[in-house]
Structure 1
Amino acid sequence: MMPFLYFPEDKTAYLPAAITLIIFMAMAAVTMYLFYKKSKKDEQAFNEKYENSIHDASESVESK
């Protein structure tokens, strides 16, 4: 048997690790949601700023 691995008999010792994992997973999900929300906001601002240029470029490509 491998003496450097330790698996406690009392399974409540896993509770702090599980709680920490849940907290970090929740924080990662919130961070991803905020990145997504900011990205959509930036995309909308970009489209509003360059709407005419995008429209003109797409028309020139379609006409060729």
Structure 2
Amino acid sequence: MPFLYFPEDKTAYLPAAVTLVIFMAMASVTMYLFYKKSKKDEQAFNDKYEKSIHDAKESVEPK
């Protein structure tokens, strides 16, 4: 298969491995920040609409 290229010198894989590690770390940090922001937004929403949510639950539940 002439289209596959596997270098004899394995140090050629080092830049690709370093790049992969860097991008995986950045992706992990980004996901953590999204998660943290989402939790903050959820808490702000619940604080703002707590009374409305409570009233809606009461009107739906049978007595």
TM value normalised by structure 2: 0.95
Gaps of 5+ in 1: none
Percentage identity across paired residues of the two chains: 89
CA distance in 1, matches of 2:53, 2:39: 17
Map 1:19-58 → 2, pairs under 5 A: 19-58=18-57
Extract structure 1 runs of 4+ deviating beyond 3 A: none
Query: TM-score if structure 1 supplies the norm length?
Result: 0.94
Structure 2 gap ranges (5+)? none
Separation in 1, partners of 2:20, 2:59 = 53
- Residue 6 of structure 1 aligns with which residue? 5
